[in-house]
A and B are shown apart, each in its own frame.
Chain A
Amino acid sequence: AQSVTQLGSHVSVSEGALVLLRCNYSSSVPPYLFWYVQYPNQGLQLLLKYTSAATLVKGINGFEAEFKKSETSFHLTKPSAHMSDAAEYFCAVNENNYGQNFVFGPGTRLSVLP
Chain B
Amino acid sequence: DVKVTQSSRYLVKRTGEKVFLECVQDMDHENMFWYRQDPGLGLRLIYFSYDVKMKEKGDIPEGYSVSREKKERFSLILESASTNQTSMYLCASRRSREQFFGPGTRLTVL
The chain A residues found within 8 Å of chain B, CB to CB, are 4, 9, 32, 34, 36, 41-46, 49, 51, 90, 92, 94, 100-102, 104-107
Asked if A44 and B42 make an inter-chain contact with CB atoms under 8 angstroms apart, the answer reads: no
> Which residues on the A side are within 8 Å of B31 (C-beta)?
100
* Interface contact B98-A49, CB-CB below 8 Å: yes
Closest Cβ of chain A to B43, distance in Å, is: 4
Per the bound structure, the CA–CA distance linking A22 and B4 in Å amounts to: 29
Instruction: Give chain B's interface residue range (CB within 8 Å of chain A).
Output: 20 to 34
Given A43-B104, A100-B48, A100-B50, the answer on whether A51 and B58 have CB atoms closer than 8 Å is no
Contact B41 A42 (CB under 8 A): no
Once A100-B50, A104-B42, A106-B40 are accepted as A-B contacts, the answer to whether A44 and B97 lie under 8 Å apart by CB is no
Residues of B within 8 A of A51 (CB): 97
In whole angstroms, what is the CA distance A102 to B31 when docked?
12
> By DSSP majority rule, is chain B's interface helix, strand, loop, or mixed?
strand
B40 touching A44 by the CB < 8 A rule?
no
Chain B residue at minimal CB-CB distance from A90:
B42
Residues of A close to B45: CB separation below 8 A: 101-102
* Docked CA distance A107–B35 (Å): 14
Give the docked Cα–Cα distance between A9 and B90 (Å): 20
Q: Out of A4, A43, A46, A107, name the residue touching B98 (CB < 8 Å).
A: A46
- B42–A94 touching, CB < 8 Å: no
Q: Does B83 lie at the interface of the complex (its beta carbon under 8 Å from any beta carbon of A)?
A: no
Identity of the chain A residue whose Cβ is nearest the Cβ of B56 in the assembled complex: A100
Contacts of A42 in B (CB 8 A): 103-104
Query: Can you offer 13 A-B residue contacts whose CB atoms are under 8 A?
Result: A32-B97, A34-B98, A36-B101, A42-B103, A43-B90, A44-B101, A46-B100, A90-B43, A92-B43, A100-B31, A100-B50, A101-B45, A101-B58
